[in-house]
Chains A and B, each alone.
Chain A
Amino acid sequence: MVENTRKTYGIDENIALNVPILINVIESKNKFPKEIQIKNKFIKVLSVIDLWHVYGEWWKENSVNRMYYRINSDDRVIILFKNIDSNLWYLQNDY
């Protein structure tokens, strides 16, 4: 995953789409997401619609080891994942 270099976007650079955003998530006892904080607001997770594991580029130091959850909140469907190596939660909407 590409880290944020804090560099301002130039006119010549390509802009990545669908970049994961670091969020706060309250987990349940089963380590499933229970509440998600988006824009300083906590949203309750009503149900987990789908989950899958992505494990790629294992030969690299920063391998991609994510557990994805598609959840149903009060008014929308959200896709988020947990980086298993760092235990951090990220928001990623799939286009």
Chain B
Amino acid sequence: MAVVAKEDNNLIVIDKSQEAKPVKIGMSYQNALSVCKELEVIQADFKFYSLISEKIACDLNNKSPKVEAFDLGVTYVDISGLEMMYPTQDILIESLLKDIPKEFNPRIGIASNKFFSYVAAMHSKPNNFLKISNNFSSFLHAIHLNMLPVSSWNKAKLHDLDINNLIDVLNWSIDLLQLQFGIKDGKKLWELCRGIDNDYFYPLELKNQLKTSVCFDEPLVNKQSIVLAMSYMLDELLRDNKFRNRSARGLSISAQTSNSLYWNKKIKFKEPLFRKSKMLGIVESVLEVANIPGPLSDMSIELMNLTDDFSIQKSLFSFSRKEEDLLESIKQLEIRLGCKVPIYEIKEIEPWSRIPERRMALMRILP
């Protein structure tokens, strides 16, 4: 089995199983098929992979408040302070492993910094962990060029100098390293040889959103059916526990047509909304003028920027609306009767007057 992805209008093998020995990573699709006729090929779906990666990061976020989704398949979790919640490290690791599907054969590395925790993870067994504390020097020989966080140009230079792992530059002075590989990368190599990694930890920013998607058995061809599908999807989202006592400031619709074209639309609400009727009304008006490229085969909607507003700010002058309605009704009555209507209201003329009959008077409500 091999996984292929599009690169410069060519399909290239990006991963393969152990059984597909003749196939090499980077080989074109046609070459791979020619060397291995029974090869099963799967097209890479990076969108799906990043969704899964994000989901795993979110699940890990439930255990630790600091999680960095570094890359596909690489997630950093700050476990400092968690020892008060988990009696032993084994229990903590077991708890973290539960959040990652076993099919991925997760490997956990523990160290005092990001780089060495990555190295430890690369050397640990599947579904297990490895810890690097003060014994980092014993791992220097195992840190290959590809793992080093330096530019590809410097990696090529290291290869040219016949330097294949970090231990080869352990005895180089910082001046020499900076002279050879530049100030930034030279210093990085010197620090790594001494077990130092000052890279910042960028915690994951949890996107405050809710998403649902649906695949249709038959592509939707008219806007009424799209609106109906959206109505069901909104029902599902608004019933979600995460939406309880919250409002959304926007809605994102993404869909794929039957001829593999993508259509996206982001709608921002003027005020945070939590009622389905209002959201659907806005969506209907947007869909009326939207230009959808074809029948939709699948659709996903996402409620964005969830807020904790669950109330509506009403006007302080609640009677102002009633007065407007009353004046409108009186105008219509006058039009219908064809003459002025004897409807008066009490108005204050001189409320401070000591003479009572001068304080108030009846005046026509419509002048």
Contact = CB atoms under 8 A, between A and B. Distances in A.
Interface of A: 1-2, 11-12, 14-20, 54, 56, 64, 92, 94-95
A15 B359 CA distance: 12
Range for the number of chain B residues in contact with chain A: 10 to 19
A45 to B, nearest CB: 20
Chain A interface helix/strand/loop/mixed: loop
Given A11-B340, A11-B342, A18 B354 contact: no
Given A17-B360, A95-B360, A56 B344 contact: no
Contacts of A11: 339-340, 342, 364
Contact of A14 (B340, B342, B355, B363): B363
A1 B357 contact: yes
Contacts of B339: 11
Contact of B360 (A18, A20, A64): A18
Nearest to A13: B364
B289 interface: no
B356 interface: yes
B361 A16 contact: yes
Interface of B: 339-340, 342, 344, 346, 354-357, 359-364
Pick from A2, A15, A17 the residue with the most CB of B within 10 Å: A17
Given A15-B362, A17-B362, A92 B340 contact: no
A20 B358 CA distance: 11
Given A1-B357, A18-B359, A56-B354, 15 more contacts: A2-B357, A11-B364, A14-B362, A15-B344, A16-B362, A17-B359, A17-B361, A18-B356, A18-B357, A20-B357, A64-B355, A92-B356, A94-B356, A95-B356, A95-B360
Contacts of B360: 17-18, 95
Contacts of B356: 18, 92, 94-95
A3 B356 CA distance: 15
Contacts of B344: 15
A45 B325 CA distance: 47
A77 to B, nearest CB: 14
B345 to A, nearest CB: 11
A42 B161 CA distance: 126
Contact of B346 (A2, A17, A56, A92): A17
A2 B364 CA distance: 20
Nearest to B363: A14
A56 B357 CA distance: 14
A11 B344 CA distance: 9
Nearest to A54: B354
20 contacts: A2-B357, A11-B340, A11-B364, A12-B340, A12-B364, A14-B362, A14-B363, A14-B364, A15-B344, A16-B361, A16-B362, A17-B357, A17-B361, A18-B357, A18-B360, A54-B355, A56-B354, A56-B355, A64-B355, A95-B356
A1 B179 CA distance: 106
A57 to B, nearest CB: 9
A33 B342 CA distance: 38
Pick from B339, B344, B346, B357 the residue with the most CB of A within 10 Å: B357
Contacts of B361: 14-17
A17 B360 CA distance: 6
Contacts of A2: 357
A55 to B, nearest CB: 9
A92 B344 CA distance: 21
Nearest to B344: A15
B204 to A, nearest CB: 68
Contacts of A20: 357
Contacts of A56: 354-355
A56 B356 CA distance: 12
Contact of B357 (A12, A14, A19): A19
Contacts of B363: 14-15
Nearest to A52: B354
Contacts of A64: 355
B348 to A, nearest CB: 10
A22 B115 CA distance: 102
Pick from A11, A12, A64 the residue with the most CB of B within 10 Å: A11
